[in-house]
Chain A
């Protein structure tokens, strides 16, 4: 080949790759725009659906369904007592709390037993959901709605299954031991179950970041934003994920994830699919997909909803290392679910999950990180060598970064409409800053962690990795 021809060929290849990257990025963000539109539409529907004027009736009724809160705890010594205390103060007519110590290596079990003066009791129930050996069950007559299960380590799914087996109420709610539920969150989450008792099988709520909030006696007494950049970025990220993506999937009855930190389920439906699948990393998503598969296979009518206003607060990682572990684990969980249920992909029988949710996850969450990273590295090199124009680079920047700012801003607007109640001027300005700044570095860093997660999945790495908890309102260790 002549050198001129070679240059032309390289130039054409670079142009082709550049346009491919740009088109992919544009499509990616276009899908988010559609999500945003659907999310606003679902929000309107949710507003019409949720009648706050009925809350007092539900609260005072003998017929309001009881809820069993399932609280798996693994090495949560620092936060578990405070969080159980907070759960005990929830405003709901009939609920129980089942805390499961999943073979922690720290003093989780001891701190609970001592704090609540728990006594060992002989309580046995059938185990329709598989779980590891139960070491002991504890309760205390001063806390009749608290049950503590101490069991061998088997992972989060195993702990949730154990709690589910001992649950007395028709609705079960998975809550992370490091999370704080809003005082009225159960009442808000149960509303759809009261309205659609026959067909509704699961409801997910919003997870918000508690770093920076003032916590007293296990309750959020003042909302606030974190002082550090990393958790601040995560606040915007969570708002985008919950208020845009999940609301829009709810609009299509194809909610694929209900966060393990806070989700309300019909117990009988979960037991019909055998509870949580053991040994999974993304057990929360896996359960939802199993439910979709089960009810679609049986042609039974069902609904899985996301409702934005029941809020659960969680502690976000403040160090890069812990955040990286969390994100790689999430990505492994996603890969695992997509692989386990690959036969749902593009199958009309599985409705929105098979035809929309799965393809989007595969395209933008599995393939996407690779293409985005390649685009970020290769396109500037092409431009440097004159293979791509400055206008092209500006367009790529606009589509990847400016569009990201637009989406984050829309999430903030949505939060303003739905969940922000007492946000102060300072906090709003901090979020505004974060919504812009996270597009310069933080999102790109996430791409790397996602790729790392995919790599770990391919290498069949299991396990959760160490998650360091600081605890709410505790002195932070020196940095």
Chain B
């Protein structure tokens, strides 16, 4: 049988004791380091808060027209100018009109635009993003060049803030070029695309429609279709209608969402296919379109869908019949007279009555 010799036993115990002691001592020292750093941070935070309050007062006095003696902002040391930058950012987001113009003038006078340019070149991500926001209030070539440069920033948030600023200034020449420069990876959230596509300036919409018809990833198509629908770009209708026959159900459902957002009744001629789609999500989206823009030809398929296997499709079909009004609502009421208490038709009638009472 394996046995420890007295020497090795003693050694093992010694190693265990020493190991635990050193680890514990190490962790205590580490914690003490954290404690010291925390105290330092707390002191700095207190100073920063006090300074922020003081500077906010000074800036408000400055833009309210009072003449300040000795230009106090110029004398601030570099660390405190960081706080002033924060104050100005907060104020510029809250103040509008002529006072905002005064703030922008103050930013220029105090050299914050140069500071923002420097931050954009070599600051932490949050500050680079803030710098992009500040630069978006300037129209000179240096600010624009910096914002164009920020499209290649390693941080996606900074790139998107620069994109938004350039879009506001209508400085994006081409959507394809923008997407290429943003260099979005499959790991980046698809929602970001939706945001870019939704905020596209009118000038780029034609290109966006072309892009929808070109071979891009399904996720991009989905986001682009919905964005074009939301922006009511009717020129995109043929490309979106093509998506109604895509092989991926998520794409087909997105196409029907886009068509409803677009509100083009011309899409109604493809509605039957959507209402008979094998995917419940697509049928549900098509029902919602039918409720908003369907004609008399959609009554019969919607009535059939009141017996769909999926509860939510039945619910959407009942809502669509209600929304169609007239004959649709009569169909729903007739259906409800023969249905049991848990039927969707009855449920929709009750909920709509409730909504009417609440004014929802």
Contacts and interface: CB of A to CB of B under 8 A. Distances in A.
Given A391-B17, A403-B23, A412 B351 contact: no
B223 to A, nearest CB: 8
Contact of B10 (A51, A64, A391, A417): A391
A402 interface: yes
A398 B189 contact: no
A132 B189 CA distance: 39
A416 B230 CA distance: 44
Contacts of A343: none
Nearest to A140: B358
A52 B31 contact: no
A405 B24 CA distance: 6
B129 A53 contact: yes
Given A144-B360, A399-B16, A432-B35, A53 B156 contact: yes
A395 B13 contact: yes
Contacts, number: 125
Given A53-B126, A423-B38, A63 B31 contact: no
A64 B155 contact: no
A64 B34 CA distance: 37
A421 to B, nearest CB: 10
In which size bucket is the chain A interface?
A: 35 or more
A381 interface: no
Contact of B16 (A58, A60, A124, A398): A398
Contact of B155 (A51, A125, A389, A425): A51
B38 A416 contact: yes
Contacts of B136: none
A54 B27 contact: no
B20 A63 contact: no
B14 A425 contact: no
Interface string A407-440: 0011011001100100111001000100000000
Contacts of B155: 51, 53
Contacts of A144: 360
B311 A195 contact: no
- For the complex of A and B, the 3 pairs showing the least CB-CB separation, nearest first, are A53-B157, A409-B27, A398-B20
22 contacts: A19-B4, A26-B16, A51-B157, A53-B156, A53-B158, A57-B157, A57-B195, A61-B191, A61-B194, A63-B223, A123-B347, A391-B17, A395-B17, A402-B20, A403-B20, A403-B23, A405-B24, A406-B24, A406-B26, A410-B27, A420-B38, A428-B38
Given A405-B24, A413-B34, 18 more contacts: A51-B156, A54-B157, A57-B192, A61-B194, A62-B198, A64-B191, A123-B351, A124-B342, A389-B13, A395-B16, A398-B19, A403-B24, A406-B26, A409-B28, A413-B31, A416-B31, A416-B34, A425-B38
